[in-house]
A and B are shown apart, each in its own frame.
With several copies, the nearest count.
Chain A
Amino acid sequence: MNFDFSEDEKLVRDQTARLLADQCDAKVVREVLEGRAVYAEGVWKGLCEMGLTGTAIPEAYGGVDAGYLALCLVAQTLGSKVAPTPFSSSVYLATEALLLFGTEAQKQSLLPKLANGTLIGALATTEDRTELDGQDLKCTVKGGQLNGRKFAVADGGIADCAVVLARGDAGPGLYLVDLHAAGVSRTRLETVDPTRNTARIDFASVSAELLGTDAGHGMQQLDRIQNRAAVLFAFEQIGGAQAALDMAVAYARERFAFGRPIGSFQGLKHMMADMYVALKLAESNCYYAAWALATDAAELPLAAATARVSATQAYQLCSRDNIQVHGGMGFTWEFDCHLYYRRSNYLALELGGLNVWENKLVNALPSAA
């Protein structure tokens, strides 16, 4: 058994880490946090130039075909730096949608641009403040014309094109839409994590093309896209959780109170031990999900939901208790604790909340497990 990443995959991770160490420090993240930039364009360009946007795209479509295991480690590294880029929307969601369901023509025309990052993609599903339910979609496509509103779209203000869930004649379907087309209007939204661009998008008779040829199965297709993306999001989450834990440990070692480093008090020591435990459980589940993703194993739905649920819980716990370890400084704007706290809560909801994924997990759970 060799349940670990290969040296080549770790090399990709290390290169990504170096890039981000150079170009994606907290200052860059705060440029976006405080609204001086819509996203970290420099970082994005760097990722594209390294070909990371095409990590899992076959060479035939302009990718580097380095595989999903490498992509998982890229995601983990991006997560650890709370990188403010549209990478997850474009690579984990839009690209996956095309790879899974696009026609040959659609792949030919879009994947190369997604691979080199000249085109940024997004996935538009949410229509209100409730979990998605295919049965009452308000966005509709008739005669190739998309009408309706998407309540909140991650990176919706940045993306050039979107895969939009809408009701067509045959039922829910996924449609390709050019976001620069006439009839598209986007409104930037204030969210709990300003380092991730989020927009409301209104569609007024915008021309939309069915993704692939299989109309009416949008919900099932979305489910398959999200299962694959969940693994990559989970790696972003454990990357962030590890960074938050490291930050807490470093502070607890140097900060003194009552004449001792605060990290010598069991109250905080045990809290950080519990952060570590949650993180390691999630990390091991992520490894397994990475294997399932890379091999397209039958276990993918269960493995993805397991990684997603445990990574969401681990990141929310670690980012929350990192603030607690920092005490008063932890909830100042000046300290970076809130960058992780914000991102952990944003990622916990993107792709649907815990209750949705717990439910998916049990749906996929064998009666003897």
Chain B
Amino acid sequence: MDFNDTAAEAEFRTEARTWIQANAPRHLFAALSSSTFGGMNTGDEDPLQAAKNWQKKKAEAGWACLLWPKEYGGRAATPIQSVIWNQEEGVYGKLGGMFIIGQGMCGPTMMAFAGEDHKRRLLPKLASGEEVWCQLFSEPQAGSDLAGLRTRAEKVGDEWVINGQKIWTSGAQYSDYGILITRTDPTVAKHKGMTMFFLDMRSPGVDIRPIKQVNGQSGFNEVYFDNVRIPDSQRLGAVGDGWRVSLTTLMNERLAIGGSIATGFPELNSLVQSLPISRDKAVNDSAVRSRLADWYCKASGLRNTAARAISALSRGETPGPENSIGKLVAGGMMQDIAKYAMDLQGFGSVVNDPVIAEGNARFQAMLLRSPAVRIEGGTDQILRNIIAERVLGLPEDMRADKGVPFNRIPSGN
């Protein structure tokens, strides 16, 4: 048991580190480092432009989408190399945030199901950040129950006509393309009547409206489709095979291992080192110590669990199911930590003006953003079901929608 790189890994790490030191946008380091949860701080620079600049530079040097084949703009690197890159890229990795969905989910789906011409034409620009992609999956009536989606696609000649609404689409407002899952046959069972496409987000009839979140930001959008036309050549997979195609996409939703998941622990630990309570440093208060210890055990457990996954990759194996716990643990933990950190600071901590509040109002930012973590990309309840069924092998819930034609499933309206 050791934490050392193999010779090959060490060599790759050196190469990556050297290039990053020579090319990273150092002038953004301070701003990026001071980003609070749910936001990316690029100082005076436009975030999207800053992100595209760094991505372009990486692509030109062969450091974009490391796992992809070279002909699609990647490096054909191994999973462990991609992990090492993430570790070395460090804070600059935040700049990749707006490409994660496109490169992490849309890309692999295109690679698996798009035609060769489309792949060669579109994937390199996705890899280089020249074009941004989004994923049009969730709907107002289809969140946890994604297969309950209703957006219709009807075949007219060589084209499909799309009508309906998507929601929770990250980055739709600055996306060039999107992958879209639709219902093409409502008369068969829900998982059978879906079909996947990709489309130009500037197609006529696409209407994008930002959703304002509790924390005041608008990272998500509603996307309306009014007789939007998509050529059949942009269909991904067979008609009616959309659910299977979507699983390819969602399989890649697994958070990028190596980049560590935010828990709020380091922030709390730094706070209590100096914050005074009852005439002493908070870290010396036994109630604080007890909480700190329990949360450290969780944070450390997540870090060590990730290390086990990385070892598996390093051995060329697939990581075990224990990785499914990350978001479930981190989401609730961050929410509790934010509440606790503010409680220790008293009434003054209601102020969330970054100029006044402690650490750029980092805990207030967590308080207002963390509820979303427990919902987006699988609610706590869905994640527990997944662990119970897929990891522990417990029986599935009773299904009211099993084998029922989609248009006869009770929907409450």
Nearest B residue to A245 via CB reads B392
Contact B346 A198 (CB under 8 A): no
B374 CB–A CB distance under 8 Å: yes
Chain A residues within an 8 Å CB radius of B315:
2, 4
B22 CB–A CB distance under 8 Å: no
Nearest A residue to B312 via CB reads A4
Known: A191-B352, A263-B395, A350-B347. A3 touches B310 (CB 8 A): yes
Question: Interface code A268-299, partner B: CB below 8 Å = 1, 0 otherwise?
Answer: 11101110110011111101101100100000
**Residue from the list B213, B392, B409 in contact with A331, Cβ < 8 A:** B213
CA distance A49 to B213 in the complex (A): 37
CA distance A188 to B290 in the complex (A): 34
Contact B350 A191 (CB under 8 A): yes
Interface residue tally for chain B (C-beta within 8 Å): 107
Which chain B residues (380-397) contact chain A, with CB distance < 8 Å?
A: 380-381, 383-385, 387-389, 391-397
Chain A residues within an 8 Å CB radius of B387:
273, 276-277
CA distance A182 to B290 in the complex (A): 44
Contact B301 A267 (CB under 8 A): no
Which of B53-61, B150-158, B337-345 lies on the face that meets chain A?
B337-345
Residue with the greatest number of chain A CB neighbours at <10 A, chosen from B1, B298, B339, B348: B1
CA distance A18 to B269 in the complex (A): 45
Contact B379 A327 (CB under 8 A): yes
Nearest A residue to B297 via CB reads A310
**Residue from the list A261, A282, A333 in contact with B301, Cβ < 8 A:** A282
Which of A82-90, A106-114, A355-363 lies on the face that meets chain B?
A355-363
Number of A-B residue pairs with CB-CB distance less than 8 Å in the complex they form: 320
Contact B384 A270 (CB under 8 A): yes
Nearest B residue to A249 via CB reads B392
Which of B62-70, B229-237, B356-364 lies on the face that meets chain A?
B356-364
Shortest CB-to-CB span from B112 to chain A, Å, is: 27
**Residue from the list A263, A274, A284, A285 in contact with B384, Cβ < 8 A:** A274
Contact B372 A281 (CB under 8 A): no
The 3 closest A-B pairs by CB, nearest first: A281-B301, A259-B401, A259-B400
Interface residues of B (CB under 8 A from A): 1-5, 9, 138, 141, 143-145, 148, 167-168, 211-214, 216, 265-266, 269-270, 273, 275-279, 283, 286-287, 289-290, 292-294, 296-298, 300-302, 304-305, 307-308, 310-312, 314-315, 322, 325, 328-329, 335, 339, 342-353, 356-358, 364, 367-368, 371-372, 374-376, 379-381, 383-385, 387-389, 391-401, 404, 409-413
Apart from A130-B345, A266-B381, list 10 A-B contacts with CB within 8 A.
A3-B1, A193-B350, A259-B409, A291-B2, A291-B3, A310-B298, A324-B381, A331-B375, A358-B290, A365-B292
Interface residues of A (CB under 8 A from B): 1-6, 69, 125-126, 128-133, 135, 151-152, 154, 189-193, 198, 245, 249, 252-261, 263-270, 272-274, 276-277, 280-285, 287-288, 290-291, 294, 305-306, 309-310, 313, 316, 320, 323-324, 327-328, 330-334, 337-338, 341, 345-346, 348-359, 361-362, 365, 367-369
